[in-house]
Amino acid sequence: MGVLTVRKYGDPALRRRAAPVTEVTPEIRRMIADLVDTMYDEVGIGLAAPQVGIALRIIVASDESGREARALVNPVIAAHGGEATAEEGCLSLPGIFAPVTRAAWVRVEARDEEGRPVSIDARGLFARVLQHEMDHLDGVLFIDRLDPVARDRIKRKIKREGFPADSHRAFAL
Ligand code: ZN
């Protein structure tokens, strides 16, 4: 097990479309353990494999209680509804926060770390985390979901100032 380096905005690894996992092997399980270790080390509540340079469709996220990490392999949104807007951050864009509108609830189908099929009904923050992490699997960042004016403001700020060295990392995805 180990802590991996989280790639930052500008790294091409964050813009690739990740490939499906064909089989949940011991190597995939080790990868999941590393993702969980990295998420906790970064004080994040979710992490997607592309954020550590692994182009596979794997995400990890704190569950509703915030006590246990869930790993989802090849997750897809089977159903969704409603609309909710809330502030979001990302471990790959440290110190940047902005309100993002997403589905209020989602049903996600995936495989767990044993390769068994799972179906999760999520709402609230957990639904947001799952949608944010699944976007990473398609090379999409939360700033892509902002209106162009807000997005350009953030891009200019990053270009001008870079990322704050000691940014508050909690609540980032
Ligand atoms: Zn993120």
pLDDT at 164 over 90: no
Q: Is residue 4 part of a domain?
A: no
Question: From ligand 1's centre to the CA of 141, what distance in Å?
Answer: 6
Q: Is residue 2 part of a domain?
A: no
Q: Pick the catalytic residue: 68, 88, 133, 161?
A: 133
Please give the tally of structural domains in the chain.
1
CA distances from 100 to 82, 88, 104, 160, 168 (A): 14, 6, 11, 23, 19
> Which tens digit of pLDDT belongs to each residue from 77-91?
999 999 999 999 999
User: Is residue 114 annotated as a catalytic residue, yes or no?
Assistant: no
How many other C-beta atoms are found inside a 10 Å radius of the C-beta of residue 64? Answer: 16
Q: Is residue 5 part of a domain?
A: no
HSE, side-chain direction, 13 A CA sphere, residue 19: 6
pLDDT band at 172 (very low <50, low <70, confident <90, very high): low
Question: From ligand 1's centre to the CA of 99, what distance in Å?
Answer: 14
Predicted TM-score of the model (pTM): 0.94
Question: From ligand 1's centre to the CA of 91, what distance in Å?
Answer: 5
CATH code for the domain of 47: 3.90.45.10
How many other C-beta atoms are found inside a 10 Å radius of the C-beta of residue 15? Answer: 13
pLDDT at 165 over 90: no
Q: Is residue 101 part of a domain?
A: yes
Question: From ligand 1's centre to the CA of 118, what distance in Å?
Answer: 23
Could you list the residue range(s) of the whole structural domain that residue 26 is in?
12-169
> Which tens digit of pLDDT belongs to each residue from 1-38?
589 999 999 999 999 999 999 999 999 999 999 999 99
pLDDT of residue 168: 56
Q: Is residue 6 part of a domain?
A: no
pLDDT at 39 over 60: yes
pLDDT at 152 over 80: yes
Please give the average per-residue pLDDT across 99-107, as a whole number: 97
Q: Is residue 56 part of a domain?
A: yes
Please give the average per-residue pLDDT across 105-118, as a whole number: 97
**134/63: higher pLDDT:** 134
